[in-house]
Structure 1
Amino acid sequence: MKAFFVFVALFGGMLLGIQTPINGALGKRIGSIEGALVSFTIGMICLLFAVFFFGRGNLSQVTQVPKLWLVGGALGAVAVTCSILSVQRIGVTSVLTAAVLGQIMVGLIIDHFGLLGVAKVPVDSLRLLGVIVMMGGLFLVLKPNG
């Protein structure tokens, strides 16, 4: 079962790999922030249909959750805007590599301290080595771009 969710995460990452250049092209044509707005609006429409046809949750509970949990949409909007701003200047591979490295770095901190309600997973030398190797990978991916 764990392998299935690894595949699901891999597939989601692949979709982000396709979304990045599409959003970049949109942002180049209509503006970076405007492109992010269009992307999120279309995403919202898709999610409205998904909730209507497949949703099993309880949206009325949204007023009862900690306010910090509502920041995710804003963080996503900033992340997509950053991607749109960057992709035309450093390329898709560089943007995705930097974005994944950023996610792993913050994930390492969140895991180590058990922040945001996740189980503590201490940083060890192998995890640090993995981040250092990825930093080297980012350097190599960026090198052709100057």
Structure 2
Amino acid sequence: MKILFPLLAVLGGITIAIQGQINGGLGKKVGVIEASFISFGIGTLALLFIVLFAGNGNISAVTSVPKWQLIGGLLGAIYVIVIVLVVPQIGVAPTLVGVILGQILIGAVIDHFGLLGGVRIPLDAKKIAGICLLFVSLYLFNHK
């Protein structure tokens, strides 16, 4: 059972790679912002049906959460716009190396300081070395 969540994370990564190529192609046809809007619109409809038929939370509790917790959708929109813009220029793999570097870099900062309500997990030499290797990977994937 310990492997379930890491495997789900891999599945999430697979869907992001496929989504990047699909949205990048859509952006070439309809425009970057328009493709992002279409992607979010379809995603919103899908989530509406999931909430209606499988949701078991309390959506009305949204009024009691700290307001900063509501910017996730905005951050997701920025991500989708960046992917739609960048994938057609450099490809899926180099784009995702940059995305992963950004995720790991800010994730390490969030963990190190326990930001945004997270648990404090200090940086160590191995994690810093891993981040440096991701920078090398970003260079290698984008150097021609």
Range class of TM-score, shorter chain:
over 0.9
| 2:21 alignment counterpart | 21
Return the alpha-carbon distance in structure 1 between the equivalents of residues 44 and 12 of structure 2: 17
| 2:50 alignment counterpart | 50
| 1:72 alignment counterpart | 72
Return the alpha-carbon distance in structure 2 between the equivalents of residues 21 and 143 of structure 1: 21
**Over aligned residues, Cα RMSD in angstroms?**
0.7
| 1:99 alignment counterpart | 99
TM superposition shift of 1:88 = 1.1
Which secondary structure does the structure 1 equivalent of 2:143 belong to?
helix
AA matched with 1:4: L
Aligned pairs for 1:102-141 (under 5 A) are: 102-141=102-141
TM superposition shift of 1:97 = 0.6
Question: Over residues 9-51 of structure 1, what are the superposed CA-to-partner deviations in whole Å (9 max), with x where a residue is unaligned?
Answer: 0100000010001000001110001000000000000000000
Return the alpha-carbon distance in structure 2 between the equivalents of residues 14 and 139 of structure 1: 22
Return the alpha-carbon distance in structure 1 between the equivalents of residues 83 and 15 of structure 2: 14
| 1:11 alignment counterpart | 11
Q: Name segments (4+ residues, structure 1) moved above 3 Å.
A: none
| 2:85 alignment counterpart | 85
TM superposition shift of 1:90 = 1.1
TM superposition shift of 1:2 = 2.6
Stretches of structure 1 lacking an aligned partner (at least 5 in a row): none
AA matched with 1:142: N
- Alignment identity in percent? 46
TM-score scaled by length of structure 1: 0.97
TM-score scaled by length of structure 2: 0.98
Which secondary structure does the structure 1 equivalent of 2:131 belong to?
helix
